[in-house]
Amino acid sequence: MTGADALDVAREGIWVLILVSSPMMIVGLVVGIIIALFQALTQIQEMTLVFVPKIIAIFVTLLLSLPFMGATMSGYMMRLADMIVTGG
């Protein structure tokens, strides 16, 4: 395995990480913005109002995107295993 191959594996690993984590991050961002807007409009400054809806939304997103996440990581692992077996 050359240096270029190692960089390709690392680049693909970072891309898989971004793909797998992006649904939950986007949902957390959207829910956070909606709650911040709601708090600004109503002047309710309750700290638990921020965390509980975010946790629930991220958990539901995790459950819904689990098949996609598993397929993406499985495909990446298959490519890595194939590279290990073939020697690069």
pLDDT at residue 66 greater than cutoff 90:
yes
pLDDT at residue 21 greater than cutoff 90:
yes
User: Is 24 in contact with 62 (CB distance < 8 Å)?
Assistant: yes
Of 60, 53, 50, the C-alpha closest to 24 is: 60
Domain ranges of the chain: 3-86
Helices (H), the chain: 3-42, 48-86
pTM over 0.75: yes
